[in-house]
Amino acid sequence: MITDAPAIVTRRHGLAESWTLATYLRNGGYDGLRKALTMEPGDITSEVLTANILGRGGAGFEAGKKWSMLGKARPAYLVVNGDESEPCTFKDHMLLENDPHQIIEGTLICARAVGASQAFIFVRGEFALGLERMQAALNEAYAHGAVGRNIFGSDFSIDVVVHPGAGAYICGEETALLESLEGKRGYPRDKPPFFPAAVGLYSKPTIVNNVETVSNLPWIVMNGGQAFADLGVGRSTGTRLFSLSGHVKRPANYEVEMSKTTFQDLIYDPRLGGGIRNDRELKAFVPGGASAPWFGPDQIEMALDQDAVGKAGSMLGSGSVVVMDDTTCMVRAAWRITRFFHKESCGQCTPCREGGGWLDKIMNRIELGAGRRSDLDLLLDVCDNIAPGLSWPPQKTTICVLGPSIPSSITSAIKMFRDEFLAHIDEGRCPFGPPVGNSVPAAAVSSRGDA
Amino acid sequence: MSQQAEETTTVGITVDGKEVEARKGEMLIAAAERAGIYIPRFCWHPRMKPVGMCRMCLVEVKGPRGFALMPSCYVPVADGQEVVTTSDKVKKAQDGVLEFLLINHPLDCPVCDRGGECPLQDQTIAFGPGESRFVEEKRHWAKPIPVNPLVALDRERCIQCARCTRFADEIAGDPFIDFIGRADATEVNIFPDKPFVSNFSANIVQICPVGALTATPYRFKARPWDLEIVESTCTACAVGCRVAVQSSSDRIIRNLGVDSDPVNQGWLCDKGRFGYEAANHDDRLTTPLVRRGEELVEATWGEALQAAADGLSQVRDTHGPQAVAVLGGARLANEDAYAWAKLSKGVIGTDNVDCQLADGLAGEVVLGLPRATIDQACAASAVILMAPDIKEELPVLYLRLRQAALDKGVPLIEIGPQATGLSRYATWTLLHRPGEAASVARALVDAVSGVAPSNEGGGPGGVPVADLSGAAELLGQRPVVVVIGRPSLAESTDATAEALAVLAELSDVAFLPALRRGNVHGALDMGLAPGVLPGRVSLNAGRPWFTAAWGSVPEARGLDALGIMGAAAANRIQAMVLLGADPSSDFPDRTLARRALAGIGFTVVVDLFLTDAALHADVVLPVSSWGERPGTTTNLEGRVTRLGQKVTGAGTTRPDWMIAVELAGRMGADLGFDTLDGIAAEIAVLAPSHLGLTPELLSRSSARDGLVVPLAPREDTGGDDAGPVTESVEVAAAQRQGETLLARSEPIDEDRSLEPGTPESSIPAASAPAAEVPPLLTFAGAEPAAPLRPVDAYSLRLVTSRALYDGGALVQHAPSLAPLASGTRFRANPHDLSRLGIRPGDLVRVTSPRASLVLEAVSDTGVPRSSAVVDFNQPDEGAGDLIDATQPVTEVRVETATRSRSS
């Protein structure tokens, strides 16, 4: 159901020049920071613990709990992750472009709460406008006295740096992001033994929070954690921004109250998705980003609730919902996602580096009509060698979760649409015909390393 | 106390149900391996930081949420940890990884150098499936491509374990090979504008777990199962790296580094690894040569030895023993050096013996210093470097010191006339004017005791006082180790010796001598230097003991190499033996060397090659090379290790000791031994520093890393508690044996001809009063060096040092190494260059009192002002022509010769 919950992170979107300091200040900007400066750091954390805001980057870990786990060594760092690169996820993109000051304010509140001595906002390099507005906002904030030495005349000082990413999807993974920030190749770190809260940036305790997560902080500080926790149901509190895309009439970002809103509402409500394009049938949808196992029409009534979706074998993940109608070739859809993960593997560990390429080649072969019936078992077994057991949440033979993200679409497609695979194999062609629009040419999977 | 320490350094874990005691901080894979449980791996290497990349070592580790797959190379042990390495889940994961590694691997094992010794091949055969499920096209790359002249890269075979990239970055500090690209298009490669220039490049071939990296000199030369192998010690420099020498068809074709924990830890420099090529060179001398008029003609060994003995005898009998000089010997094994010392000092009777060519430090100085081991240097509270560029001259010592500085935070304080490869890692690099090291050392030692240095004249030797004070602050803790060598060959030994004497004033200080010639330390220990006798004793102190043992020793201290050259040039040396030495190229003052060699009436050359000096010799005796004969060698720590013989000697060559024995016989004497073991046994009872060092002791497994001499703590040397292995029981027994042997023996009869026999019975004997073992040398300080002329505005003081790849016989006869020599360059501070109107790349004329050279100018901020660096002994020319070794410092004037060719 569509509730009357207030818009929290998107409340200034649509205002004239919402990204400027002037607009921001006229609409309650930096009030949260001013209030936070009067609070003890521990009290800020308490409010965030009360709010129980789940991390909005993908893993959905409680932000306040993460802060409480920060190691005692100093200096400690805060890194805000704006390297949003998951296919069909574009919520942080809009937050960066439309309300950069809200991110800065949230960053400062978090830094104040955890005692960070330096903050970095890592923004995906392809977000040209977002980067420009983020940097301009930061300059304004410095001039306004909101960032830097003795913020608003208090004894709180911190510098914030905007760091453009260099174009690798993997750098959205927090430890790869830290490596990249340190000037190294974007390789995720093995964890255990150490998580960033203990050993992070430059081997110091580090909090990594998502752009959307910190964007909620000014509201939480102003309205109290309880007001946030009053929204939603159970552990899934507050509102959340969902990127709705695919075969819907109104693809866009929608901020809705968690748990009370369902996938049905999101996709079909005229105020939200407005239904399937051309009023066709829903075939399947991805509930939480390209890494998430797919859902079918029978799961449409499920609430946008982290635990409910988790229990059903998938995740809300990055908050991206992709809708596929009955014209979609599921083999091709799964192959396109596989191909994305294959190309974006950092290449550090064997199962992901080699397994991703292999799965891509098999899927491509099936889509082109050169598949064999034994390929289905082969696909599942190769997937099993990356994510043993093919369970959810996945186990892994890899360093990070990119590898175990590859099997999601393949296993979902085989489980839900085995007949389509067999049709490809038996007919020796794709029953949906050649790709149309911006699909990838058949010879896209090259075996040549030499460019 | 020790039990308590033990409790905190070990933890108990369970591997496959077996209780395992693990060292705190180590990784699971290492703890399991020591317990006999081998976990397969590719990227893990015990000498490098773990990366957890290949995922082959996945095992199940019990955590708060039950067992989970974890890379055992990346999980540190923890008390009570439960590990399973053999479950179905583990097997499936490991098989999966192996399959992934193979899908893009070319499987060209039949034509791959690694085939037969390939971890990927071995593990596939052990664990892998029989056939591949991969039907797609494999990844293709152009191959092989050179990463440098010594190493070729096949990217298709690469399994991206990051061993080579980690070695280059972590161990060598030459991070010029790295990953490029991502996903399955990831490749290892060099940067487009930076070849993999490193003195250590071929280590990446040895540690590559597949055949992706191959050594150009070895490619397609052999299959591993055809190779024969023996362990030995590299003698390309004095570090003493342990090496596995491999041969096929009686030719050495590969050297691999052996992991000797106190020394090389598995690594080798490229010169040591490929130096064997020189032994295989067609130019090797294989037959003795004797002069017939203008010509050297081939002769039998009998003829040649007789000619040599006759010539030497005649000069000795006519002009006295001091008219004979023996130069060189740092190439020799310990036993050779002892035999030649006994021949020179005991039979011929000359003390004009020097294994160094005025490029090191006096034997009395080196042998008398309290000696540190490499491990002690790497664990010191601070290391002072007063040495040439360790990266070029003692490469693996550079690796050890670099790692100590980076990983353990050992501060390095460098005192020298130019920046070196270690400057990047030194806390302080105190660059001083050439020849003024002693004033820097004095100011530093004074600053340690609280006396502030004077800023007069820009600080002592030109070193800013703030730097000196900063360096002194690091010297508050003990122990301190000084790495001591000759920072520049264009200044006299006296300057270094004086500085060394000052540093020796520091309390609790020990020295690691940075002399680079292969077995120079063994040669010094065995007495191949003026003023000393075998076993680190002075000529005077050892006279009674060795007179008793040998019959006679020289009456007075003889000349060192510089003195010998001067005397020869003045026709006071009539006969010279050159033991693997060629002063005409390798003596710092080539002008003096040429005049000296021209003035000698009779020359015997004992060498591997027909050197310039050999061309003018009267007798040339060919010797067996490294790898062609057994023996022992001694490294810069005083560590004695065994040399392995892998192939038969080239042609009719003989080991050096045999030539000494034969010559002695033909000169009417008997050295008293006719086997290598006989010599070793004599050293073990006669050389005071080597007492008890029997071949039997050295062959024990506990002596696998060699033994540092002297073996047991001795009261008169203060002892060496931290020495790695002390077999005190055996040592005491051997000492007793030596003493009783000497005590019970008959008085020496000089005319008595000794029968060859067992080592013990063949040792000439001494009378009872001489039975006291002479005391070992102690460092007696140094005379102040001659005062220097102040630098004038027109001159630059010359600095010269060696590069790894030089004009020496070994490099120039190794076809893979010879092209790597840089050639002679003139390097100066950019300030001086612009002051002189010289642009980098210009040709300049460098003029000294000796000669004038035209060289290319290179701008180098690592050279302090008013100094000029010219490379020593490069194949084209070299600083040897410029140096006047009779001066404290050679000065040069520089002028533009022509504009650079490019402009």
H helices of B374-529, in order, are: 374-378, 390-393, 395-407, 437-448, 465-473, 493-503, 520-525
User: Which residues of chain B from 153 to 192 reach within 8 Å of chain A, CB to CB?
Assistant: 155, 159-160, 179, 181-187
Cα–Cα nearest to B410, from B383, B448, B372, B444? B383
- What are φ and ψ of residue A441, in 5° steps? -60, 155
The reply to whether residue A397 touches residue B186, judged by beta carbons under 8 angstroms, is: no
Helices (H) and strands (E) in chain A, counts: 17, 10
What is residue B457's predicted lDDT score, i.e. its pLDDT?
76
Q: How far A348 CA lies from chain B's nearest CA (Å)?
A: 6
Cα–Cα distance for residue pair B61/B74, rounded to 1 Å? 12
What is residue B243's predicted lDDT score, i.e. its pLDDT?
97
A with B: how many residue pairs have Cβ under 8 Å apart?
119
Q: Does A354 touch chain B (CB under 8 A)?
A: yes
Cα–Cα distance for residue pair B124/B781, rounded to 1 Å? 63
User: Which residues of chain A from 155 to 194 reach within 8 Å of chain B, CB to CB?
Assistant: 168, 170, 185, 190, 192-193
Residues in chain B with CB shorter than 8 Å from the CB of A170 are: 182
Do residues A103 and A211 make contact, with C-beta atoms less than 8 angstroms apart? yes
User: Which residues of chain B from 134 to 153 reach within 8 Å of chain A, CB to CB?
Assistant: 134, 136-142
Q: Among A348, A362, A382, A399, which would you mutate to test the B interface (most chain B Cβ atoms within 10 Å of its Cβ)?
A: A348
Long-range contacts of A31-35 (CB under 8 A, 24+ apart): A31/A218, A31/A222, A32/A105, A32/A106, A32/A109, A32/A217, A32/A218, A32/A219, A32/A220, A32/A221, A32/A222, A33/A105, A33/A108, A33/A109, A33/A112, A33/A146, A33/A151, A33/A152, A33/A218, A33/A221, A34/A152, A35/A221, A35/A222
- Residue B567 has, within 13 A of its CA and on its CB side, a CA count of 19
Task: Read off the pTM.
Answer: 0.92
Cα–Cα distance for residue pair A134/A107, rounded to 1 Å? 12
Each residue of B498-531: pLDDT tens digit? Answer: 999 999 999 999 999 999 999 999 999 999 999 9
ipTM of this predicted complex? 0.93
What is residue B65's predicted lDDT score, i.e. its pLDDT?
86
Residue range B524-544: mean pLDDT, rounded: 96
- Nearest CB to B96; choose among A190, A351, A353: A351
What is residue A289's predicted lDDT score, i.e. its pLDDT?
94
Residues in chain A with CB shorter than 8 Å from the CB of B159 are: 350
The reply to whether residue B99 touches residue A448, judged by beta carbons under 8 angstroms, is: no
pLDDT tier at B877, thresholds 50, 70, 90? confident
pLDDT tier at B712, thresholds 50, 70, 90? low
Q: Is the confidence at residue B730, as pLDDT, over 60?
A: no
Do residues B714 and B723 make contact, with C-beta atoms less than 8 angstroms apart? no
Q: Is the confidence at residue B6, as pLDDT, over 60?
A: no
Each residue of B213-254: pLDDT tens digit? Answer: 999 999 999 999 999 999 999 999 999 999 999 999 999 999
Q: Is the confidence at residue B542, as pLDDT, over 70?
A: yes
What is residue B8's predicted lDDT score, i.e. its pLDDT?
67
* Residue A432 or B876, more confident: A432
Q: How far B177 CA lies from chain A's nearest CA (Å)?
A: 14
Tell me which chain B residue has its CA closest to the CA of residue A167.
B182
The pLDDT > 90 percentage for chain B reads 83
Each residue's pLDDT tens digit in chain A (451 positions)? 889 999 999 999 999 999 999 999 999 999 999 999 999 999 999 999 999 999 999 889 999 999 999 999 999 999 999 999 999 999 999 999 999 999 999 999 999 999 999 999 999 999 999 999 999 999 999 999 999 999 999 999 999 999 999 999 999 999 999 999 999 999 999 988 789 999 999 999 999 999 999 999 999 999 999 999 999 999 999 999 999 999 999 999 999 999 999 999 999 999 999 999 999 999 999 999 999 999 999 999 999 999 999 999 999 999 999 999 999 999 999 999 999 999 999 999 999 999 999 999 999 999 999 999 999 999 999 999 999 999 999 999 999 999 999 999 999 999 999 999 999 999 999 999 876 654 444 444 444 444 3
> Helix (H, G, I), strand (E, B), or coil: what is residue A325?
strand
Residue range B810-834: mean pLDDT, rounded: 95
- Nearest CB to B134; choose among A190, A192, A358: A358
Each residue of B146-187: pLDDT tens digit? Answer: 999 999 999 999 999 999 999 999 999 999 999 999 999 999
Cα–Cα distance for residue pair B740/A65, rounded to 1 Å? 79
The reply to whether residue B92 touches residue A385, judged by beta carbons under 8 angstroms, is: yes
The reply to whether residue B100 touches residue A351, judged by beta carbons under 8 angstroms, is: yes
Residues in chain B with CB shorter than 8 Å from the CB of A399 are: 52-53, 55
How does strand B509-513 pair with strand B480-484?
A: parallel
Q: Per residue in B676-702, is it b (16+ CB within 10 Å) or e — as a string?
A: bebbbbbbbbbbbbbbbbbbebbeeee
Q: Is the confidence at residue B724, as pLDDT, over 50?
A: no
Q: How far B230 CA lies from chain A's nearest CA (Å)?
A: 36
The reply to whether residue A385 touches residue B138, judged by beta carbons under 8 angstroms, is: no
What is residue A100's predicted lDDT score, i.e. its pLDDT?
98
Q: Is the confidence at residue B736, as pLDDT, over 90?
A: no
Q: Is the confidence at residue B757, as pLDDT, over 50?
A: no
- What are φ and ψ of residue B21, in 5° steps? -90, 120
The reply to whether residue B92 touches residue A388, judged by beta carbons under 8 angstroms, is: yes
What is the side-by-side strand order in the sheet with B251-257? B228-233, B242-248, B251-257
Each residue of B90-142: pLDDT tens digit? Answer: 999 999 999 999 999 999 999 999 999 999 999 998 877 778 899 999 999 99
Cα–Cα distance for residue pair B583/A8, rounded to 1 Å? 86
Residues in chain A with CB shorter than 8 Å from the CB of B103 are: 354, 358
What is residue B131's predicted lDDT score, i.e. its pLDDT?
82
Query: Mean pLDDT, chain B, as a whole number?
Result: 90
Residues in chain B with CB shorter than 8 Å from the CB of A384 are: 92, 96
The pLDDT > 70 percentage for chain B reads 92
pLDDT tier at B9, thresholds 50, 70, 90? confident
Q: DSSP labels for B642-704?
A: EEPP-SPPSTT-B-HHHHHHHHHHHTT---S--SHHHHHHHHHHHSGGGTT--HHHHTSGGGT
The reply to whether residue B139 touches residue A397, judged by beta carbons under 8 angstroms, is: no
Distance of CA A403 to the CA centre of its chain: 16
The reply to whether residue B183 touches residue A345, judged by beta carbons under 8 angstroms, is: yes
